[in-house]
Amino acid sequence: MSICAQCRTAEAAIEDRDVQPPQPWCLACATALVRAGDPVINYRSFGDPDQYGPVLVGGSTAVLRFR
Ligand SMILES: [Zn+2]
């Protein structure tokens, strides 16, 4: 299991394939990117089941919802 390239403490949940070499992200850092409006789209999931997919979908929905 890879360690997150951002915080360097958590285990990576996904691997960003848009960069070379592919960069590992933990779920927390990947979620922060979704919230920031810069989600990782082209990724490979380390988890089974994929934990990041629902975050990506939910995060996008949350952005569109005004409350
Ligand atoms: Zn991290």
pLDDT tens for residues 29-41? 999 999 999 999 9
**Among 26, 2, 3, CA closest to 13:** 26
Q: How far is the centre of ligand 1, averaged over its atoms, from the C-alpha of 39 (Å)?
A: 14
d(CA 31, CA 60) in angstroms, rounded, equals 11
The pTM of the full predicted model, rounded to 2 decimals, is: 0.82
Task: List, as one string, the DSSP characters of 9-61.
Answer: SSBPSEEE-SSSS-EEE-HHHHHHHHHTT----SEEE-SSS-SHHHHHHHHHH
Q: Which residues surround ligand 1, an ion (CB under 5 A)?
A: 4, 6-7, 10, 26, 29
Residues across the chain = 67
Map out the domains of the chain as residue ranges.
Answer: 14-64
What pLDDT digit, counting tens, does each position of 40-61 carry? Answer: 999 999 978 899 999 998 876 5
Q: How far is the centre of ligand 1, averaged over its atoms, from the C-alpha of 38 (Å)?
A: 15
Q: How far is CA 33 from the centre of its chain?
A: 7
